[in-house]
């Protein structure tokens, strides 16, 4: 009779591949199994590869009822195992909840009481970030967060400005674990001081410019204010691109069709774009209830390809759906209830999340079939779909001075 093969009997390279595919928390626990496993799982290369094997998932804000910043894994997942906030014992009051600014490689950047923190939810560790050495009374905003490809450093793109005088913006790059350095706004063509000001101002307002999409070593922003961007670019593009290696900006064009409501997103490693247009019904009511999805077909040439449209008014499966409220459950016609789409996120290759009416998040497939409403605990209202995604990791926070 052949003996039983133990895991320890396998070649180290096979053990390494198995451990890389574990959820980060399980990979971290494996460090207690043996000295060799601890050695394998503690290298920077292993931790980064383990992180890359994790799914990139959307973050939903439950607005503290009953939880905030929930990582949505799927319809049948227990929400109690997905909660990213609160993480400080006893600090659960909604008014003390921080703002989620940007995410990268398993780290969250949070703003709370005018202080920026870097936080790893898996490791349950956080650290205070130092402000750039800006002038007195200057305000700061973090507009980007990325891992520098050549050095492996985690860097923050940071703007400062003084609000109570002639507004002048400055740009800094902060390496986590070090200090910030001032950088020039470099473009293919030289910008005037006023154009440089408009560019940084457009990226600063998070309500009008969602966090950038990091793909191919560049950050991509799509400011909602197309007019202000067109004033800077002279019509050469309306998407702002920052090359993280060259540390320079350039422009890119969005799809030719004009959309008053639009956003960039990562679609399985490809730059994606969604836009919604105003629709009117027979009664003269206007709404945003159709989404056009585009993908970048040729990045170098800047060619977009139309992929599909989600139009709620044409989806028969959406005619009846149970909506709940604080007063109880009632059966309602979904297409007559939805007034506008606020945001969209890709859950997987076949499923989307769509926020509507500022308080519900809808699940549907890419054919437009409604799959149900997202719930946090037993609630399916008073929630928002954040513009952030998250991939768990056990990468430690670089030492912050």
Residue identified by tokens 């094997």 is 53
Asked if 376 contacts 79 with a C-beta cutoff of 8 angstroms, the reply is yes
Q: CA quadruple 11, 13, 17, 19: dihedral positive or negative?
A: positive
Tell me the mean pLDDT in the region 329-356: 76
Tell me the mean pLDDT in the region 251-275: 89
Instruction: State residue 316's pLDDT score.
Output: 47
Overall residue count recorded for the chain in this entry: 401
Percent over 90 (pLDDT), the chain: 30
CA distances from 343 to 45, 138, 146, 224, 301 (A): 35, 32, 23, 13, 28
Of 48-57, 116-125, 191-200, which gets the smallest average pLDDT?
A: 191-200
197 pLDDT band, cuts 50/70/90, is confident
Give dist(CA 397, CA 401) in Å, integer: 12
Instruction: State residue 20's pLDDT score.
Output: 92
pLDDT tens sequence across 217-244: 999 998 865 545 555 555 567 899 999 9
pLDDT > 50? residue 79: no
Q: Angle between the 193-204 and 226-233 helix axes, to the nearest 10 degrees?
A: 150
pLDDT > 50? residue 209: yes
Instruction: State residue 261's pLDDT score.
Output: 83
Tell me the mean pLDDT in the region 307-325: 65
Instruction: State residue 270's pLDDT score.
Output: 92
Q: Which among 4-13, 291-300, 323-332 has the top mean pLDDT?
A: 291-300
Instruction: State residue 108's pLDDT score.
Output: 93
Stretch (H or E) spanning 125: strand 125-128
Who has greater pLDDT, 117 or 382? 117
pLDDT tens sequence across 18-49: 899 999 989 988 888 888 888 889 999 999 99
CA distances from 129 to 114, 126, 155, 188, 400 (A): 11, 10, 11, 32, 7
Who has greater pLDDT, 341 or 213? 213
Q: Angle between the 44-52 and 12-20 helix axes, to the nearest 10 degrees?
A: 50
Neighbouring C-alpha atoms within 13 Å toward the C-beta of 392: 23
Q: Note the Cα 28 to chain centre separation in Å.
A: 25
Average predicted confidence (pLDDT) for the chain: 80
pLDDT > 50? residue 58: yes
């Amino acid at each position: 009779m052949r003996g039983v093969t133990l895991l320890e009997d396998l070649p180290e390279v096979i053990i390494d591949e198995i451990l890389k595919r574990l959820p980060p928390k399980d990979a971290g626990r494996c460090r207690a199994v043996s000295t060799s496993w601890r050695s394998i799982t503690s290298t920077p290369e292993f931790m980064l590869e383990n992180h890359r094997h994790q799914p990139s998932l959307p973050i939903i804000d439950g607005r503290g009822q009953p939880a905030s910043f929930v990582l949505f894994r799927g319809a049948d997942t227990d929400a109690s195992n997905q909660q990213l906030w609160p993480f400080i014992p006893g600090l659960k009051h909604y008014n003390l909840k921080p703002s989620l600014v940007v995410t990268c490689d398993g780290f969250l950047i949070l703003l709370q009481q005018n202080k920026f923190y870097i936080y790893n939810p898996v490791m349950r560790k956080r650290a205070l970030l130092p402000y750039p050495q800006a002038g007195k009374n200057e305000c700061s905003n973090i507009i980007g967060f990325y891992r520098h490809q050549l050095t492996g450093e985690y860097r923050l793109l940071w703007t400062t400005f003084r609000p109570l005088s002639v507004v002048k913006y400055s740009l800094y790059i902060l390496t986590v674990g070090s200090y910030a350095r001032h950088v020039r706004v470099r473009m293919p063509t030289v910008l005037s001081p006023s154009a440089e000001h408009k560019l940084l101002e457009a990226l600063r307002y998070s309500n009008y410019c969602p966090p950038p999409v990091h793909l191919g070593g560049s950050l991509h922003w799509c400011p909602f204010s197309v007019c202000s961007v067109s004033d800077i670019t002279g019509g050469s593009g309306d998407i702002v691109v920052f090359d993280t290696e060259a540390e320079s900006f350039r422009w890119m064009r969005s799809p030719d069709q004009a959309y008053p409501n639009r956003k960039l997103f990562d679609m399985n490693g490809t730059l994606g774009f969604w836009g919604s247009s105003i629709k009117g019904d027979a009664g003269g009511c206007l709404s945003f209830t159709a989404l056009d999805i585009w993908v970048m077909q040729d990045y170098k040439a800047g060619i977009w390809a139309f992929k599909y449209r989600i139009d709620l008014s044409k989806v028969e499966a959406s005619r009846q759906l149970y909506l709940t409220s604080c007063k109880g459950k009632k059966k309602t016609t979904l297409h007559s209830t939805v007034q506008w789409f606020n945001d969209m996120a890709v859950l997987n290759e076949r499923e989307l999340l769509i926020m509507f009416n500022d308080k519900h998040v809808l699940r549907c497939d890419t054919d437009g079939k409604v799959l149900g409403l997202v719930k946090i605990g037993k609630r399916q209202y008073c929630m928002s779909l954040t513009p952030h995604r998250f991939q768990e990791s056990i990468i430690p926070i670089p030492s912050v001075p």
